[in-house]
Amino acid sequence: MSAPVLRLVLGDQLTPSVSALRGGDPKSDIVLMAEVAEEASYVRHHKKKIAFIFAAMRAFANELSAAGWRVDYVRLDDPANTGSFPGEVARAIARHNPAALVTTEAAEHRVLAMQQIWAETFSLPVSVLPDDRFICPKEDFFAWAEGRKSLRMEFFYREMRRRTGLLMDGDQPTGGQWNFDSENRKPAKGDLFMPQPRRFAPDADTTAVLDLVADRFADHFGDLEPFWFPVTRAQAEEAVAYFLKAALPRFGDFQDAMLRGEKFLFHSLLSPLINVGLIDPLDLCRRAQAEYQAGRAPLNAVEGFIRQIIGWREFVRGIYWREGPDYMQRNALGATRTLPWMYWSGETDMACMAEAIGQTKEEAYAHHIQRLMVTGNFALLAGIDPHQVHEWYLAVYADAYEWVEAPNTIGMSLFADGGILGSKPYASSGAYIDRMSDYCRGCAYDVKDRTGPKACPFNALYWDFLQRHRARFEGNPRMAQMYRTYDKLAPDLREGLHAKAAAFLAHLDAHGTDRKA
Ligand code: FAD
Ligand code: DLZ
Ligand code: SF4
């Protein structure tokens, strides 16, 4: 019998048609999958995130075996496990003596760099194939970006609409408009009927993973249980069907809303599943479009949803690869403050922060506006070191992979890339949070107060941030109005705002949390 081909599948490549498997011979080739300590701890991932990935990997191995593949699956607790991808590839080569190694390129610089030296390390033909599960190949993004003065998601998105034909009537956008975002900013009220997420009871395989994670990662952030994520392809399909029916119709209206105790609102919760390959993003968008065409979901909801996936998701990936590995070190605003402990403990009197961090701890989930306008906004205004913030987001969310997380954090949220991803920082005072949520009611702070003892910290921090970075932002037409407003404030109010911000930040530095006196 001729030597087999070894086909390595990584934990976020759980797609039967992934390039590493395509054209393979299930009977003679060997699929290698490995749970490795290095991947679970390069940042201290949330327990639920590790459990989700291992459970989904094991389920995918079962799926491949059922389809006739020979799968060599290395568990984390295998005594011989070396704890790294190169170590496990080396051991598998020794076990199987393959003729060649085939793999799909990793989704991040760190692991791709490992793959690129394997041909030399192992003296064996190695193919690192493109990951064509994305709608826009990297090279197409580079070509689109080439020569543009600035890269804006909206223009890229229109290209993706044309390319996919989604919500297009000929060469015109359905409804005569590319973007219905202005209709998607309604604050929610507690009396809305919120769909609860579809929850899946762990089966025996997932329960074994939960035991393993409880044992090995007890000191990682976050609650392991209750664990209810979908982990098989069939469960992922159920989650999609449920979202399309129960939440998509109102996804648009309340996309930016936040409500105390309502962790999910009308969001899809599908990002962990899309990012590991259990759901095909283009297929999902086509199904969302079909809901509009059948009259079951309005255009603003469906357009908004599709934009997040073929627009933002593809755009941030393009930026990640175009900017290179040093993107994660960018710090255009020179922010150096240490990440306050409250990001891990959730202990703070700021109700909005407590809510966003608390649910992150429980669910490894917060929706986009919580990530951007609460925890991200605070980090931006308080001048927290972007690399520390980046590592926090990468660790705490079940959907977090560097290619998608870093542009959202370093670029969109912290403006640490100096304006490559967005044209202005998403900075806001407490007024935005008050408008879009019910967090401020019952908060220990007063959102209407700017300088008093109970003043909402976001207020003083916001004006202080603007003034600190005046030289950079004053000339930005989208920010000019804010500087005009600042200049009209009475001088003693301005002074009071800066003093308040300085006192708050000094307190934060001294105590790590605003809770202690
Ligand atoms: P929905 O609101 O239902 O949106 C539908 C889908 O659109 C999502 O599942 C996701 O695939 C996609 N999407 C929406 N917004 C974005 C975006 N800005 N960038 C890329 N895709 C998007 N998303 C991740 O998948 N992984 C991350 O690590 C991640 N880190 C983030 C960090 C920060 C600071 C911010 C501001 C955003 C981050 N996002 C990240 C984007 C977004 O917050 C999540 O995709 C979204 O909250 C996932 O929840 P959902 O599936 O319910 O999304
Ligand atoms: C995130 C993650 C974790 C926690 N564990 C594993 C693992 O044990 N084995 C594996 O193949 N993949 C894991 N992953 C996903 C990888 O980190 C991801 O495939 C690479 O970072 C490339 O994006
Ligand atoms: Fe957050 Fe300020 Fe509102 Fe409190 S008052 S919830 S700190 S925005």
Share of the chain above pLDDT 90, in %: 92
Query: Which string of DSSP letters, residue by residue, matches 39-71?
Result: HHHTTT--HHHHHHHHHHHHHHHHHHHHTT-EE
Task: Give me the pLDDT at residue 513, please.
Answer: 58
Q: How far is the CA of 517 from the centre of ligand 3 (A)?
A: 18
The predicted-structure confidence for 93-116, as pLDDT tens digits, reads as follows: 999 999 999 999 999 999 999 999
Handedness of CA 217, 223, 228, 230 (dihedral sign): negative
Q: How far is the CA of 357 from the centre of ligand 3 (A)?
A: 14
The predicted-structure confidence for 7-55, as pLDDT tens digits, reads as follows: 999 999 999 999 999 999 999 999 999 999 999 999 999 999 999 999 9
Weakest mean pLDDT among 155-159, 186-190, 288-292, 420-424: 186-190
What confidence category does residue 517 fall into, taking pLDDT thresholds of 50, 70 and 90? Answer: very low
DSSP symbol at 148: -
| CA gap 439, 62 in Å, rounded | 44
* Cβ count within 10 A of residue 500: 22
Is the minimum distance from the CB of 443 to ligand 3 under 6 angstroms?
yes
Record the tokens describing residue 115, joined without a space: 């793959």
User: Helices 314-323 & 153-164, crossing angle to 10 degrees?
Assistant: 120
Ligand 1 pocket, CB under 6 A: 267-271, 274-275, 305, 308-309, 312-313, 316, 367-368, 371-372, 376, 393, 397, 399-400, 404-405, 408-409, 412-413
* Cβ count within 10 A of residue 121: 13
The predicted-structure confidence for 143-157, as pLDDT tens digits, reads as follows: 999 999 899 999 999
The predicted-structure confidence for 452-485, as pLDDT tens digits, reads as follows: 999 999 999 999 999 999 999 999 999 999 999 9
What confidence category does residue 1 fall into, taking pLDDT thresholds of 50, 70 and 90? Answer: low
Mean residue pLDDT of the chain comes to 95
What confidence category does residue 516 fall into, taking pLDDT thresholds of 50, 70 and 90? Answer: very low
Q: Residue 79: how many CA atoms within 13 Å on its side-chain side?
A: 0
Which residues touch 499 (CB under 8 Å, ≥6 apart)?
Answer: 451
293-306 b/e (C-beta count within 10 Å ≥ 16 → b)? eeeebbbbbbbbbb
Task: Give me the pLDDT at residue 229, please.
Answer: 98
Sort strands 70-74 and 30-34 into parallel, antiparallel or unpaired. parallel
The predicted-structure confidence for 155-175, as pLDDT tens digits, reads as follows: 999 999 999 999 999 999 999
The predicted-structure confidence for 333-370, as pLDDT tens digits, reads as follows: 999 999 999 999 999 999 999 999 999 999 999 999 99
Q: Which of 443, 459, 508, 515 to mutate to test the pocket of ligand 3 (most atoms within 8 A of CB)?
A: 443
| CA gap 93, 150 in Å, rounded | 46
Closest CA to 463 of 507, 422, 504, 409: 504
Closest CA to 352 of 366, 336, 338: 366
Q: Which of 13, 18, 35, 39 to mutate to test the pocket of ligand 2 (most atoms within 8 A of CB)?
A: 39
Task: Give me the pLDDT at residue 428, please.
Answer: 97
Q: Which amino acid makes up residue 149?
A: K
Q: How far is the CA of 271 from the centre of ligand 1 (A)?
A: 6
Ligand 2 pocket, CB under 6 A: 10-12, 34-36, 39-40, 45, 50, 53, 106-108, 111, 401
Task: Give me the pLDDT at residue 25, please.
Answer: 96
Residue 189 has pLDDT above 90, yes or no: no
- Closest ligand 3 atom, residue 446 Cα: 5
Record the tokens describing residue 170, joined without a space: 């000929």
**453 exposed, middle or buried (CB, 10 Å; 0-12, 13-18, 19+)?**
exposed
SS3 string, 214-228, reads: HHHCCCCCCCCCCCC
The predicted-structure confidence for 489-515, as pLDDT tens digits, reads as follows: 999 999 999 999 999 999 999 987 554
Q: Scan for tokens 């107060």, then name that residue.
A: 449
Alpha-carbon distance values, 142 to 137, 318, 412 (Å)? 9, 7, 19
User: Helices 85-96 & 109-116, crossing angle to 10 degrees?
Assistant: 30
Task: Give me the pLDDT at residue 246, please.
Answer: 94
Is the minimum distance from the CB of 458 to ligand 3 under 6 angstroms?
yes
Task: Give me the pLDDT at residue 515, please.
Answer: 45
Q: Scan for tokens 């925890």, then name that residue.
A: 375
The predicted-structure confidence for 195-247, as pLDDT tens digits, reads as follows: 899 999 999 999 999 999 999 999 999 999 999 999 999 999 999 999 999 99
* Cβ count within 10 A of residue 323: 18
**Residue 94, phi then psi, degrees to nearest 5:** -65, -35
Is the minimum distance from the CB of 447 to ligand 3 under 6 angstroms?
yes
Task: Give me the pLDDT at residue 501, please.
Answer: 98
Residue 190 has pLDDT above 80, yes or no: no
